[in-house]
């Protein structure tokens, strides 16, 4: 063997000594300063004899690295005999996971040696995820001599003082009450630790079951037939819960509930949802942590019994509403007595979330939807026909959502374990399996053909592209032949062609705005054909996108995520003509339609809709405060926009008559300005729409803004598989507008009597056409 002298001179003397000792010790069996033997395994590193403090430092360094095998190798043979390596590892893994150990820093004092034993006093700094940095002082580590050198005489006390056999290490979590969800004026939409009134009935004691079902369907926002079916599940002499109401609601209706239902009441403190279903698709609900997610939530400071937001604002703002638990690390005896508190970590207080929603308007919107479906249950509102609907109200000058209701709805309280409802699991499953999909937020999740409401886009495009001069006259008959433009349909029809006797007349001469007011199909067939032929296949699609359709709006509410819809470029004249009347492959959301109408009202600005006004508790610093955000402008001139506005303002106006027909021109005059039937004390601009669905029941649209001269709000409503929008959605929007403008109760327009008195009559809308 030869040595490189230069290299040899560069090696420190201490490493030469270590190397020589290693060569000597390599042949010695059983001699290992890192702890060999049956339990510890073979030594991984050969070392020279170490002091007690060296061994203690190595042990704690391994703990900081979570190298439990290296720690165990430094235990005395007796300690290894008393605690097997798997048990040792489990003890440390559990302790470290409870505190989120990141590292340790010991500060040793002078070791005290006596023969074959030693005691080392020291302080220990711990860096942890859950408790930050904290110190555990005045600790003592005990070591004994072994054939391998100094080794740790280990007990659980070496983790924390007081932690011994029979005790347990636990993290106590202390969580403050969950934050509230408030409306724009500070009125609770969701209130923690609030009182609800529980309603119980016994069928044998009900004085008038028919009247009772009518009343409960109104108060509980349920369809009457569903309530009747639930009643049938109970024996006549069984008392059962039917639902919860707010205390003020009970105060107003307590006498009626007693006289019609012989209601028995109870009360409880819980997380109260205003209207118990009136805002479910906004607020969402809280429920227990799913088993498959429990470990993840426990890492975030939750306990198995905690409730979390499962949908809606409750889920989207879980972190803010729940806050963060304070933590106390402690040693506890089996009986629960605390032996020692080791460390504490302050939590973070829950915050309130304030929405742009108006409490009273939200309740009015939900009530209008519920009452409409119940009143029309013998007609379009039955399960046999309509599957539901949605409505949304926007501030036209900011994009703030003032109300949003989807029907059918559900009571969020049934997901709270404190609900008194019997068989609540079965109730939840029934909601999940309901073909009408009550969990679905129809305003943002579903997409629909726009029907005649799309004529707003076609009007704007035709005016901007100067396909037709706003003052020119078009004759609106009941039949249109588009074969000269490449249409393969031998004839397309105006909606009036299929109306009842007396209403199936030619609209006659119309300007562009009047064509929009009368929803004249032939005019829009021709505009679609000419835009396609003269301006290109993508022209109308581009205008629709520029007016906010067929794409996500940027809504700040993402539980659930809004749908984008779709706008296809027509590949032929047929498709282009159908697109112009809102049929074909175009799909939009209710929110997109409301946003477009808001832009028509405000002069062409598309605002990004938002529903969260601020996050933070009153009196404290706000974590977030929203400001209106203009996303884009309409691709329309003031001239083209005026054509749309003029046309929409004629739709509900009973004083506007056709130039040649002598008949009222607008398609919704009877809903708002009939002089013989509750004329509205405010002015409205609107558009009706009826879209083919592949079934005999079309989708019915109504979109509007008001007041006409100084717009404040825009509304869009859509009723699935009902009848024409003027017949279904328009009366619902009238009811909501009456609430917004504070119409006195005696002037609020009732729903049409035929909803209740007549049976359903199928619509006859041929392919390639649309209703009003």
Average pLDDT, the chain: 92
Burial code (b: 16+ CB inside 10 Å, e: under 16) for 547-584 equals bbbbeebbbbbebbebbebebebbeebbbbbbbbbbbb
Average pLDDT over residues 169-193: 95
* Kind of pairing between the strands at 181-182 and 353-355: parallel
Tens of pLDDT, residue by residue over 567-590, are: 999 999 999 999 999 998 899 999
Tens of pLDDT, residue by residue over 585-640, are: 899 999 999 999 999 999 999 999 999 999 997 777 899 999 999 999 999 999 99
Q: 22 versus 355: which is more confidently predicted? A: 355
Q: pLDDT band at residue 498, thresholds of 50, 70 and 90?
A: confident
Average pLDDT over residues 726-738: 98
Q: pLDDT band at residue 30, thresholds of 50, 70 and 90?
A: very low
Q: Tell me the C-alpha distance between 566 and 553, whole Å.
A: 13
Q: What is the pLDDT of residue 399?
A: 98
Handedness of CA 611, 616, 619, 621 (dihedral sign): negative
Burial code (b: 16+ CB inside 10 Å, e: under 16) for 635-671 equals ebeeebbebbbbbbbbbbbbebebeebeebbbbbbbb
Beta strands in 129-209 (DSSP E): 132-146, 149-152, 168-174, 181-182, 188-202
Q: How far apart are the first and last CA of the chain?
A: 103
Q: What is the pLDDT of residue 643?
A: 98
Average pLDDT over residues 226-250: 95
Q: Tell me the C-alpha distance between 166 and 153, whole Å.
A: 19
Q: What is the pLDDT of residue 502?
A: 66
Average pLDDT over residues 81-90: 97
Q: What is the pLDDT of residue 48?
A: 57
Q: What is the pLDDT of residue 3?
A: 37
Place of tokens 């709270």: 416
Q: What is the pLDDT of residue 763?
A: 75
**Of the listed ranges 11-25, 553-567, 604-618, the one predicted with least confidence:** 11-25
Neighbours of 66 (CB within 10 A): 15
Handedness of CA 275, 190, 249, 245 (dihedral sign): positive
Q: pLDDT band at residue 145, thresholds of 50, 70 and 90?
A: very high
pLDDT exceeds 80 at position 11:
no
Handedness of CA 739, 740, 746, 752 (dihedral sign): negative
Q: What is the pTM of this model?
A: 0.86
Q: pLDDT band at residue 694, thresholds of 50, 70 and 90?
A: confident
Q: What is the pLDDT of residue 18?
A: 38
Q: What is the pLDDT of residue 620?
A: 74
Q: pLDDT band at residue 765, thresholds of 50, 70 and 90?
A: confident
Whether residue 276 contacts residue 191, with contact meaning beta carbons closer than 8 Å, is answered with no
DSSP secondary structure letters along 680-693: -SS--EEEEEEE--
Beta strands in 707-758 (DSSP E): 713-720
Q: 348 versus 299: which is more confidently predicted? A: 348
Query: 3-class SS at 168?
Result: strand
Q: What is the pLDDT of residue 16?
A: 37
Q: What is the pLDDT of residue 27?
A: 40
Tens of pLDDT, residue by residue over 272-329, are: 999 999 999 999 999 999 999 999 998 888 988 999 999 999 999 999 999 999 999 9
Q: What is the pLDDT of residue 38?
A: 34
Q: What is the pLDDT of residue 473?
A: 98
DSSP secondary structure letters along 455-484: HHHHHHHHHHTTSS-TTS-EEE-SEE--GG
Counting residues of the chain whose pLDDT is more than 70, the rounded percentage is 93
pLDDT exceeds 90 at position 718:
yes
Q: What is the pLDDT of residue 689?
A: 97
Q: Tell me the C-alpha distance between 128 and 137, whole Å.
A: 16
* 746, β-bridge pairs: none
Average pLDDT over residues 508-532: 98
């Amino acid at each position: 063997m030869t040595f490189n002298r230069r290299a040899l001179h560069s090696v420190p003397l201490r490493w030469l000594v270590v190397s020589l000792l290693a060569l000597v010790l390599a042949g010695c069996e059983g001699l290992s300063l890192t702890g060999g033997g049956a339990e510890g395994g073979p030594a991984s590193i050969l070392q020279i004899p170490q002091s007690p403090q060296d061994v203690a430092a190595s042990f704690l360094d391994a703990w900081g690295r979570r190298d439990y095998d290296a720690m165990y190798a430094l235990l005395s043979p007796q300690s290894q005999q008393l605690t097997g390596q798997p048990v040792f590892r489990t003890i440390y893994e559990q302790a470290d996971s409870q505190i989120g150990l990141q590292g340790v820093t010991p500060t040793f004092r002078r070791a005290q040696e006596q023969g074959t034993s030693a005691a080392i006093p020291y302080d220990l700094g711990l860096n942890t995820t859950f408790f930050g940095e904290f110190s555990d002082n005045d600790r003592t580590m005990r070591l004994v001599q072994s054939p391998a050198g100094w080794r740790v005489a280990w007990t659980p006390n070496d983790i924390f003082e007081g932690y011994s056999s029979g005790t347990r290490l636990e993290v106590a979590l202390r969580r403050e009450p969950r934050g509230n969800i408030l409306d724009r004026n500070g009125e609770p939409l969701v209130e923690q630790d609030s009182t609800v009134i529980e309603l119980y009935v016994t069928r044998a004691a009900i004085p008038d079951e028919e009247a009772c079902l009518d009343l409960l369907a109104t108060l509980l926002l349920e369809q009457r037939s569903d309530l009747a079916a639930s009643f049938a599940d109970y024996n006549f002499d069984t008392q059962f819960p039917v639902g919860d109401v707010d205390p003020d609601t009970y105060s107003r209706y307590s006498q009626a509930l007693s006289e019609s239902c012989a209601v028995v009441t109870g009360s409880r403190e819980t997380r109260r949802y205003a209207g118990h279903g009136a805002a479910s698709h906004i607020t969402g609900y809280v429920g227990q942590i799913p088993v498959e997610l429990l470990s993840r939530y426990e890492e975030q400071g939750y306990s198995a019994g905690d409730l979390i937001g499962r949908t809606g604002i409750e889920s989207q703002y879980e972190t803010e509403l729940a806050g963060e638990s304070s933590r106390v690390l402690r040693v506890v005896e089996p009986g629960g007595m605390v032996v020692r508190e080791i460390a504490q970590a302050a939590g973070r207080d829950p915050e309130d979330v304030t929405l742009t929603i108006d409490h009273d308007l939200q309740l009015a919107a939900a009530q209008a939807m519920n009452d409409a479906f119940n009143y029309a249950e013998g007609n379009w509102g039955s399960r046999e026909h309509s599957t539901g609907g949605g409505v949304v109200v926007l501030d036209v000058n900011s994009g703030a959502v003032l109300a949003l209701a989807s029907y059918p709805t559900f009571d969020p309280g049934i997901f709270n374990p404190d609900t008194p409802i019997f068989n609540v699991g079965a109730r939840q499953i029934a909601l999940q399996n309901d073909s009408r999909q009550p969990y679905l937020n129809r305003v943002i999740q579903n997409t629909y053909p726009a029907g005649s409401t799309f004529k707003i886009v076609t009007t704007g495009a035709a005016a901007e592209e100067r396909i037709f001069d706003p003052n020119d006259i078009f004759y609106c008959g009941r039949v249109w032949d588009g074969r000269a433009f490449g249409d393969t349909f031998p004839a397309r029809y105006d909606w009036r062609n299929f109306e009842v006797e007396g209403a199936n007349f030619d609209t006659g001469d119309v300007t562009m705005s009047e064509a929009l007011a009368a929803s004249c199909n032939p005019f829009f067939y021709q505009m679609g054909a000419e835009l396609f032929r003269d301006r290109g296949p993508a022209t109308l699609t581009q205008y629709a996108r520029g007016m906010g359709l067929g794409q996500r709006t940027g809504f700040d509410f993402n539980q659930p995520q809004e749908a984008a819809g779709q706008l296809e470029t027509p590949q032929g004249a047929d498709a282009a003509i159908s697109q112009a009347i809102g049929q074909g492959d175009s799909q939009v959301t209710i929110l997109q339609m409301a946003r477009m109408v808001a832009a028509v009202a405000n002069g062409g600005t598309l605002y990004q809709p938002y529903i969260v006004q601020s996050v933070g508790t009153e009196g404290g610093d706000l974590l977030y405060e929203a400001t209106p955000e203009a996303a884009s402008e309409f691709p329309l001139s003031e001239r083209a926009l005026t054509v749309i506005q003029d046309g929409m303002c004629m739709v509900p106006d009973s004083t506007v008559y056709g130039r040649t027909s002598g008949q009222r021109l607008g398609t919704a005059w009877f809903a708002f300005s009939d002089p013989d039937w509750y004329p509205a004390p405010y002015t409205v601009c609107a558009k009706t729409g009826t879209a083919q669905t592949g079934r005999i029941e079309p989708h019915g649209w109504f979109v509007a803004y008001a007041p006409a001269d100084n717009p404040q709000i825009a509304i869009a409503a859509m009723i699935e598989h009902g009848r024409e929008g003027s017949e279904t959605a328009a009366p619902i929007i009238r009811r909501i507008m009456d609430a917004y403008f504070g119409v006195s109760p005696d002037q609020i327009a009732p729903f049409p009597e035929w909803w209740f008195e007549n049976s359903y009559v199928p619509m006859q809308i041929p392919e390639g056409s649309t209703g009003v």
